[in-house]
Structure 1
Amino acid sequence: MVATSSFLALVAFVLLGQPAYAQIDTGLEQLKQIGLGTADLRVAIMQIVRVLLGFVGFLAILIVLYGGFVWMTSAGNPERIERAKAILRNAAIGLVIILMAFSIASFIIAVLTGSFGFGGGPAGPPGRPPFEDGQLGSGIIESVYPLPNDTDVPRGISILVTFKVSIDPSSVITDTNGNDTLGDCTASGCDKLKADSVYIYKSDNSKTRPRKDAALAADQVAVRVGNDNRTFTFDPVEFLGDGVHDIGYEVYLTKDILKDNGRPAFEGVRPYFWWWFEVGTFLDLDPVEVSSVFPVPDNQGDVYQPVVGTAATAVFTVTKSPQPKREASVGAVTAEGGAPAATVGGAYGCQIDALVCLTVNAGGTFTVTPKSAGGSCSGGTVVGGSGLFAQPTLAGGVLPIGCGLNLQFSADPQPGNQWHFPVSAATQSDTLQVADKTYTFVPSGTTPGSDEIELAATVSRTTVSIATKINDDIQNPDLNASARGIGGNIPITITSTILGEAGDFTVTATDLAGPWISLPILTPGTNSSLAAQVQGVEDVARNAVIKISFNEPVDISQVNPNTVKIEYDNAGSWTAVNGRFMYSNQFKTVEFLADSRCGVCSGGANDGQPCGDDTQCGGSSCNLVTNSCGDAIYCLPVLPNVAGQQYDATKYRVTIKAGVLQACTIGNCEDATYSFCTDTPSGSGLVCANEDPYVLNDSYFYPATQPPANGIIDASNNSFNGDQSTYTLSGTVIGNAEGPKMQSGQDPYNLNSKDAQAQGDDLIWSFFVNKQLDLSPPQVTSIGPAIKSTAVDLSIPLEAAFDELLMGGTLKPGSNYRDGQCWCNEAADCPDASSPSNPTQNYECIQHKCTSTAGVEQFYCSRDDQCKVGPTKVSNRATCFNRKYVSLLDYSTFPVGWWVTHRDLENPPFDTFADYTKVFLNHTPFGAATLYGSELGSGIKDVYQNCYLPSSSTDGAGGGCSGSPYCCNGAPLNRAGWVASVCFSGY
C-alpha cells in the first residue's frame, strides 16, 4: 500500500499575451510594395479619433489649471471667485465627456482588433464569425470535432461532441430504427437526430443563431453514441458543402439537451454551445491507421526468479520515562511553630507544582509565596506565574488563595504564624502512536486502561512494558515488538507481520516534558517480487492500461468489446477481459481499463498472490492497492504462479477489427476512381473498386463503410487500414482499405510478425503481463511557454512534457466531471441508504475520501449535494472533491475555448516504441495583453494509473516542487500558501 500523505497536487504557470502578428494578411504585401499602409481603415480612423480626444483632454486640463489660477489670484474678489468656479465646473463637465468618448473609442478599437477579448482573440477574416465561449474546456464540453474555426474540413465528415458528464440520449436521439436502443445502427438504418436538440447549418456570418430554417432536417442527420453516453457522433446523411466552394458551417447545441439526471446540460446566461468551421471541396478517402500502441508487441515472456519480500521495521530507544497522565493533588497543611491547625479545600486548577508557603504579617494580612516543589519555605526558589493570590483576604473564616483553593483555621491566625503544603498540577500524558494505535502512560501503581501503559521504576523496565504492550495488542497492520539488550538504554524493535508495502506503519511520539524517545529508524517493507531476465521486450505490470493511438479521429461510437477485443491466455483458452474503454486526444486515442481492483493476498497459502477481492485468497485477506492520491488502481487479470513451478507471465492479445466496406450494386459506384462494383476476395459481396476483378494487394476499394460498420472507422466513415498498405491516387499516397477478414479473406495484420502481403486490415498484437505492480508516479520534465513569459504568440498551445507515458483518459480539460469522491473523516460520513445517490454503505475512509471496499462499485460525485453530512463532519456542508486535470487559467473578460491533446514520443535510441508523453493545451486565440496560465492537477495519471504530484517532480524542471503538495510558478507551497497565491483557482 502506498504510504504517501499528499493527495492533491497542482502546478501552474502564467504567461502574458502580446498582440500576434501571424494573422490573415491577404493583399497586404502589395500595399507594402507600393508604399501604402497596411492597417485596417476602421482601426486607423478610430486611432485618429483617439489621438484627437487625447489632445482635447490635454486642453481641458489646461483649462482646469487656468480656473485654479483665477481663484488663487482673486484676492477675495467675489466676482473673480464666481468666475473661477464657473471655469472649473465647465472644465470638469467637459473632461467627463472627453473621458467617456475616449473610453468608447478605445472599446471600439479593441473590438475591431479583437484584443478586447470577444472570444479571446481576433475576429478573424471576413466570412468567419467570432468565437465566443464558456462551455468548451471550462464548461460541460470536453472536446468537439471539427475544431472551432477549423478550415479545409473534408465534406464527408461526421461531427463529434464529447460532454464531461453522461447525457440523456433520448434528449438528442430519436429511435428511428425501432430497436429500443438509442444511438445505434442496424440493417434497417441508423437512429436520427431529435428535433430542436442540435442544429447544423450553413453560416451566413450573421449574429442570428441558431438559423433553424437553414438547419439540416432531423431525419438528415444520423446519430450514434459511445458506450458511456458522453460522446455523440452526428453524421449528415448527405455530404456537407458543394464540392466547388469552401463553405462555413455552424453547429448549435441547444438547451433541450439534458444530462442523465434530467438537469439541462447548458445552464446559466448562455444555455447553449455553438462553433464554426469551414468545409472544403474534397472528400477524405484515406482510412484511419494505428500510430502507436501500449503495451508494445512482445513475442516472448521474461524469465523470472522469485524475490521474497521484507517486512517493515522500526527501531527506537526510550531515553527517559515519558510524562504520565496525572490528576491534580493537594497535600496536607503543615503548621509551623505555634500556628493553629489549618485545612485546605477545593480542587487545584493551576499548572505548576509548588510548595505553598503562607505567612500572617504584623498588620494581620496574609502573604502567599509559592516555592519550588520539593524545597522549603526558608530556602526554596520563588515560583512565578503560579496563579495564587499574593495577598489573600480572610472572609468569614475562609481564606481563598486562588487556583480553586481555600484554607480554614482551627483558631484565629496571629501575626507571625506560618503554614505550608505541596500542590501538584494535573498533567497530560505523552503519547506513542504505533500504526493505528495511540498509547498514553500512567504512573507506577496505577491500573492501566486498554490503550495505557504503566510506567515502571526504571527506564529499562518501562521500555520492556512498552514493547510488551505493542506486541500483545492487535494493530493494523499487526505488529511484533521486542526489547532486548544488555545495560544502558534498551532498543525496541517492531516488525510488521505483513510482508511488503501493505505492512508499512509509522511510529510517532509527543514529548510534553522534553524528549523521551530517540528518533525512530523506519525501514519500509518491500513487496515480494520477481527478478526478470528480459526476453526481447520487458513484460508490463498488471496495473497497465492498454492504449491505442490513431493517426486521425475515429468514430468513438464504434469502439466496443466486439471491435476492440482484449483477451488473455487462460490455460490455453483465450478469455475476454471485463473493463471499460476511454477516449481522449481529440478522438485519436482509445484506452482500455480493466474493472478488477489490484490487490495482494496477505498470509496463508496464497500469500503474495495477485487478487481483486478476498475470495481469491483462499481464506486470507486481499490487501487492495491505491496510488499516492488514494485512488483505486485496477489490474489486468494474471495467472497465479504455482508453488514449486517456474513463474510465467500471462500472455495477452488485442484485436482491432476493420469496419465493413460499403456494399454496392452494379451501376451505383458513383466515384469515378472506384467505378467498378466487384466481388471481394472472400466472395462475401460486392464493393466499389478501381477495377474488376479485384486483385489482392494490387487493386483498391472505395474506403467508405456501411452502417452498421461493426469495426473501427474514422470521422469520415472510412474503414481501418490495419496493415497500412498504400496506393497512389492523383500523385497522393493514401491508405488502402481492404475491409475485415470477412471481406478481404486475410488474417489480421500481426504487429508481432508483420506481413502486409499475406495479412489484412484487422490488426492484432500480443504482449505479456506479469503479476507485479508499477507504483512510480510521473514527473514533469519541461513546460512551455516558460513561467511568466511575455510576448507570447496568441495561438501557441501550452505544453508540458512528462518522463513517461501518460493515461490519455486523464489528459482532459479542467474539472466538472463525475469523478469526485465525498469528504469523510470516517466511513460513517460516506453516502449510505439515507442518500439517494448511492443505496449501499460499503466504504472505508482513505485520506478523507470515501473509497469503496472490495467488490463494491465506487460511487463518484460531481456536486456537493450528492454527498452526505456525516456525524463527524466539521461543517454542516457536504463536500465533493472533484479531480483536476489540465486546466487553463483564464483571466480575460471573455473566456476562450480550449481542449487538450497529447503525443506519445520516443527517446533516443529510437526503436519505434513511444517512451514519454507531451501534453498540449490548445485554445482559440488569446486576448492581447491578458494574463493566462495553466494548471496540472493530480487527476493526471500515467499508464499504470499513478497520479501526478509536484512533490515527486524534479525541482528546476519548470513544473516540480519536490516535497510540497502545491506548486505555483515553480514555488513550493503548503495549503495556506496555495490558497493565497495567484495560481489558486477555487480549490
Structure 2
Amino acid sequence: MEKSKRYFLLDFVLFTTKIKASMLYKLIQGRIFQIAVFSILLAVAIFLLPNFALAQVDTGIDQAAGIGLSDTDPIIVIARVIRVALGFLGIIALVLVLYAGFLYMTSAGAPDKIDKAKKILTSAAIGLIIILASFAIVSFILNFLTNSTSGTSSGPGGGGTTFGGGVPVSGNKIIEYHYPESGQQDVPRNTSIIITFKEEMNVGQLIKDNNGNGTYGDFTDSNLNGVLDTGEVYDSVNEAYVLLYKEADGPAAATLVTEVFATTADNKTFMFKPRPPDYIGSPSEEIWYTVALTSALQKANLTPAFSNPAGYYWSFLVSTIFDTTPPKITNVIPYPATTEPRNVIVQINFNEAINPLSGSGSYVSPGNFPDDFENIEINNLSDGSDVNGNFYISNKYRTIEFLTETLCGRNSCGDGVYCLPATSTIEALVKAATVIPGQNEATFPFDGIVDMASNSLDGNNDGTSQGPEDQDPADAFVEPFNANPGASDALTQGDSYRWDFGTSDEILLSSPNIINVLPAIGSNNIQTNFKPAATFDRLMMSSSMTKHSPPSLGSVALYSVPEISFWLSKTDDIVNKETTIEISHSPFGDTAEYTPEFNSGLKDIYQNCFYPGSGPVSGTNTGVCTPTPTSTPTAFPYCCDGALSTTACN
C-alpha cells in the first residue's frame, strides 16, 4: 500500500507538471519574443532619453534625497526593472526547454509527441537566445547610464560632464595624467592646461612652429623680458589635433579657443596656456570647457596614439576668478636636520599642482649643458660639489623627487639602487622663479618653481611672490628661506627654499608592506565614486606610482570589464611614516567587479620595491598575508586576495 501511494504521488506530480507546463507554453509561446523585443525598444528609448529630455526636465531627485527617499535616477530604476523581468523570462524559457526534453523522453516513439517536443524546444531556444541578447543590451545600457549619471553636474554655461569624456579607456593607455582633471571645478581663468603622455609624441601635431625657427614651444622675445608681449610671434596649439572649446558651443571651428601658447620640454609633457584677451572663462559666470585630442594624433614613431575613433576628451568647470596665490611647500623628505641612509631620495611636496615644465629635468655637474635643469639644486656641503641626478614630478603634479645617478646596490626586484654621498651634509635648494615686476606671475622660460597659473614659489610663506633673492636689490630678501630648525634672520629670507640633512654610510635594503586596504577584500555594494586605497608601512616614492594599463607597464592597476580610466595620488602620514596610495577613477558600473593591483613597481623612499607582496588577510584588515619568497621547498612571494600564492596574481 505504501508503495502504491508513492507511485501515485509520483504520477500526480508528473501529471500536474504536464498540465501546467502545457498551459504555460500555450500562454507564453507567442509572448516571449514580443516581451523581449519590447524590452529592447524600451531600453533603447531610455538610452536615448538623457540626451534630449532629462537635460530640461526636473525629475525631483534632489528633493527626494532631501526628504530621505532614494536619489537613484528613475531611468536607472526602470532599466533595473527591465533587467529583472528579462531574468524572469529567461527562467521561464529554461523551464520550457526542460519541459520539451521531458516530452521527448516520454514520447515512447509517438510521432505527434516528438513533433510537439521539437516545436516547443525550438521556440524556447529562440526565445532564450533573444532574452539573453536583450539582457546583455539592457545591462550595457544600465552600466552606461550609471556612468553617465554619476558624472559631475553642470554649472552655468555648460552641460554635465563625465570622467574621461566618455572615451577614457583609449586615453588611459597613453595618457599618464592631465591638468585640470576631468570634472574638476573652480579652475582659474589663467590656468595652464598640461597633458603628460607615457611616450614621446609627434610634436608637430600638438604645436605649431609659427615663428619657423624649427624649435617647438618658443616665442620671439624681442624685448628679452621673458614676457609674451603684444605683437610677438609665438608657437601655438595645433587646433587640427588639440581642440579647446566651451562645452555648450561644441567643437565647431568658429568656437575654438585658438590664442593658446604651446610648449614642451621633452615631447611627452605639453603645456597649453590660453593668452589674453582670450583667457578662458568669464568674469560673470562659470563655464564648462572641453579639451579634445583627435584620433589622428600620433606618437613620435608615427603610430596612432588612440585606438578609439573618438580620440580622447574631457571637461572641467572654469570659475570667474584669476589665480594669483603662489604655491607653497608643505613638507620635504628627508626632514631638515635629520640623518638618513644614503639611498634615500629627496622628495618635495606642494600644496597644489606644480607646472611640470618648472619642476622636472636632469642636472649634470657643472651645469654647462643648455638643457640642464637648475630650478632645484642638490649640493654636497661636505666637499662643495654638486650632486648629479634627475628630477621627476608625480602625484598629480604635486610632488617633485630627486634621484642620483650613483649606483650603490640592488633591491629585492634586482633594480638598481642609487645613493647620495655617504656620511655627508646635503643641501637642497628649491628656487623661486623670476616674476614680472609687481606681479606673482613668473617670466618664461621658468627659472624656478611655478604653479599651473605661473605664480612663482612662495618659499617664505608670506602670501606673495618676490622671486629669487637677487631679482630686486632694493628689497630686504637677501637669502633663501631656511627651513632648518633654529634658522635666524627670517625677515631677510626670501622665496627660494632650502634645508639641510645628513647621510650615513648605511644602505637600507628591506621591502615595504601594505598594512591596510580599502575597501576590504571581497567587499560588496561599494559606492560608485569610492577610491580604492592601500596604506604602506613606509613613506613611498611618488614617482614609482605609475598606471599599469597593458601594454603600458606600471605599478598600480585597476582591472575591470569594461575597463575604466583611473589616476593615482598619495597622502603621507609624516608622524607614523606611512603613505596611502589612492586610485581615483571614472564611476564604477552597477554590477561589475573591480580588482586593484599594487605590484612590485612600487618603491619606498629608499628605492626598495614592493616584493615580496605582503598585505591584509582576505576578509579582514587585521591579519597579515606574509609571503616567503625563499622558503624551502616552496616559495610564496605573492599575496593575492589576501592569500599566499606561488605565482603572480591573476
- Length-normalised TM-score, structure 2: 0.74
Question: Is residue 2:342 matched to residue 1:542?
Answer: yes
Question: Is residue 2:639 matched to residue 1:907?
Answer: no
The alignment of Structure 1 onto Structure 2 pairs a total of residues equal to 547
Q: Secondary structure at the match of 1:558?
A: helix
Distance in 1 (alpha carbons) for counterparts of 2:626 and 2:417: 24
Q: What percent identity do the matched residue pairs reach?
A: 35
CA contact (8 A) 1:961 1:971 kept: no
Distance in 2 (alpha carbons) for counterparts of 1:938 and 1:974: 15
Q: Secondary structure at the match of 2:457?
A: coil
Question: Is residue 2:166 matched to residue 1:128?
Answer: no
Distance in 1 (alpha carbons) for counterparts of 2:440 and 2:416: 42
Aligned-residue CA RMSD in angstroms? 3.8
- Which of 542, 545, 548 is equivalent to 1:808? 542
Aligned to 1:377: none
CA drift of 1:756 comes to 4.3
**Amino acid of the residue matched to residue 201 of structure 1?**
Y
Aligned to 1:775: 509
- CA separation of 1:907 and 1:178: change in aligned 2, threshold 3 A: same
Question: Is residue 2:187 matched to residue 1:156?
Answer: no
Question: Is residue 2:255 matched to residue 1:214?
Answer: yes
Distance in 2 (alpha carbons) for counterparts of 1:948 and 1:52: 47
Question: Is residue 2:566 matched to residue 1:898?
Answer: yes
Aligned to 2:639: 967
Aligned to 1:166: 200
Aligned pairs for 1:567-646 within 5 A: 567-569=379-381, 571=383, 574-598=384-408, 625-637=409-421
Aligned to 1:475: none
Aligned to 1:916: 578
Aligned to 1:651: 425
Distance in 2 (alpha carbons) for counterparts of 1:73 and 1:637: 88
CA drift of 1:714 comes to 0.3
Q: Secondary structure at the match of 1:950?
A: coil
Aligned pairs for 1:460-499 within 5 A: none
CA drift of 1:202 comes to 1.6
Question: Is residue 2:592 matched to residue 1:930?
Answer: yes
- Which of 746, 754, 763 is equivalent to 2:497? 763
- CA separation of 1:765 and 1:113: change in aligned 2, threshold 3 A: closer
Distance in 1 (alpha carbons) for counterparts of 2:263 and 2:497: 24
Distance in 1 (alpha carbons) for counterparts of 2:270 and 2:240: 16
CA contact (8 A) 1:781 1:959 kept: no
Q: Secondary structure at the match of 1:791?
A: coil
- Which of 736, 745, 755 is equivalent to 2:464? 736
- CA separation of 1:70 and 1:135: change in aligned 2, threshold 3 A: closer
Aligned pairs for 1:109-148 within 5 A: 109-114=142-147, 122=150, 125=153, 127-130=159-162, 131-137=166-172, 139-148=173-182
CA contact (8 A) 2:171 2:306 kept: no
CA contact (8 A) 1:159 1:235 kept: yes
- CA separation of 1:548 and 1:50: change in aligned 2, threshold 3 A: closer
Unaligned runs of 5+ in 2: 1-54, 223-227, 229-233, 362-372, 630-635
Question: Is residue 2:534 matched to residue 1:724?
Answer: no
- Which of 273, 288, 297 is equivalent to 2:327? 288
Distance in 2 (alpha carbons) for counterparts of 1:59 and 1:256: 49
- CA separation of 1:934 and 1:109: change in aligned 2, threshold 3 A: closer
CA drift of 1:46 comes to 4.8
**Amino acid of the residue matched to residue 242 of structure 2?**
V
CA drift of 1:772 comes to 3.5
Q: What CA deviation, in whole Å up to 9, does each residue of 1:840-883 have, x standing for no partner?
A: xxxxxxxxxxxxxxxxxxxxxx8xxxxxxxxxxxxxxxxxxx6x
Q: What CA deviation, in whole Å up to 9, does each residue of 1:384-425 have, x standing for no partner?
A: xxxxxxxxxxxxxxxxxxxxxxxxxxxxxxxxxxxxxxxxxx
Question: Is residue 2:593 matched to residue 1:565?
Answer: no
Aligned to 1:245: 285
CA contact (8 A) 1:132 1:896 kept: no
CA drift of 1:63 comes to 8.0
Aligned pairs for 1:95-106 within 5 A: 101=134, 104-106=137-139
Larger radius of gyration: 1
Q: What CA deviation, in whole Å up to 9, does each residue of 1:530-574 have, x standing for no partner?
A: xxxxxxx3x223322211111111111123532212222264xx4
CA drift of 1:99 comes to 5.7
Q: What CA deviation, in whole Å up to 9, does each residue of 1:119-140 have, x standing for no partner?
A: xx83554622443322455x12
Aligned to 1:274: 313
Distance in 1 (alpha carbons) for counterparts of 2:191 and 2:607: 34
**Amino acid of the residue matched to residue 592 of structure 2?**
T
Aligned to 2:237: 193
CA drift of 1:204 comes to 3.3
Highest RCO, 1 vs 2 (Cα 8 Å, sep ≥ 6): 1
CA contact (8 A) 2:299 2:305 kept: no
CA contact (8 A) 1:779 1:954 kept: no
CA contact (8 A) 2:441 2:456 kept: yes
- CA separation of 1:970 and 1:717: change in aligned 2, threshold 3 A: same
- Which of 556, 564, 567 is equivalent to 1:886? 556
CA contact (8 A) 2:424 2:503 kept: yes
Distance in 2 (alpha carbons) for counterparts of 1:937 and 1:79: 64
Aligned to 2:63: 30
Aligned to 1:472: none
CA drift of 1:636 comes to 2.5
Aligned to 1:706: 443
Distance in 2 (alpha carbons) for counterparts of 1:916 and 1:69: 65
Aligned to 1:792: 526
CA contact (8 A) 1:787 1:958 kept: no
**Amino acid of the residue matched to residue 246 of structure 1?**
E
CA drift of 1:170 comes to 3.8
CA contact (8 A) 2:476 2:492 kept: no
CA drift of 1:715 comes to 0.7
Q: What CA deviation, in whole Å up to 9, does each residue of 1:415-436 have, x standing for no partner?
A: xxxxxxxxxxxxxxxxxxxxxx
CA drift of 1:216 comes to 2.1
Q: What CA deviation, in whole Å up to 9, does each residue of 1:808-844 have, x standing for no partner?
A: 1111211669xxxxxxxxxxxxxxxxxxxxxxxxxxx
Q: What CA deviation, in whole Å up to 9, does each residue of 1:412-468 have, x standing for no partner?
A: xxxxxxxxxxxxxxxxxxxxxxxxxxxxxxxxxxxxxxxxxxxxxxxxxxxxxxxxx
Q: Secondary structure at the match of 2:524?
A: strand
**Amino acid of the residue matched to residue 580 of structure 2?**
K
CA contact (8 A) 2:537 2:579 kept: yes
CA drift of 1:740 comes to 2.3
User: More deviation in 284-293 or 179-188?
Assistant: 179-188
- Which of 324, 331, 352 is equivalent to 1:552? 352
- CA separation of 1:231 and 1:958: change in aligned 2, threshold 3 A: farther
- CA separation of 1:939 and 1:200: change in aligned 2, threshold 3 A: same
Distance in 1 (alpha carbons) for counterparts of 2:578 and 2:72: 45
Q: Secondary structure at the match of 1:111?
A: helix
Distance in 2 (alpha carbons) for counterparts of 1:717 and 1:948: 36
CA drift of 1:587 comes to 0.4
CA contact (8 A) 1:184 1:191 kept: yes
CA drift of 1:751 comes to 0.6
- CA separation of 1:773 and 1:82: change in aligned 2, threshold 3 A: closer
Q: What CA deviation, in whole Å up to 9, does each residue of 1:226-279 have, x standing for no partner?
A: 4x442222111132211322222221223454434x233514344832222222
**Amino acid of the residue matched to residue 628 of structure 1?**
S
Aligned to 1:203: 247
CA contact (8 A) 1:548 1:591 kept: yes
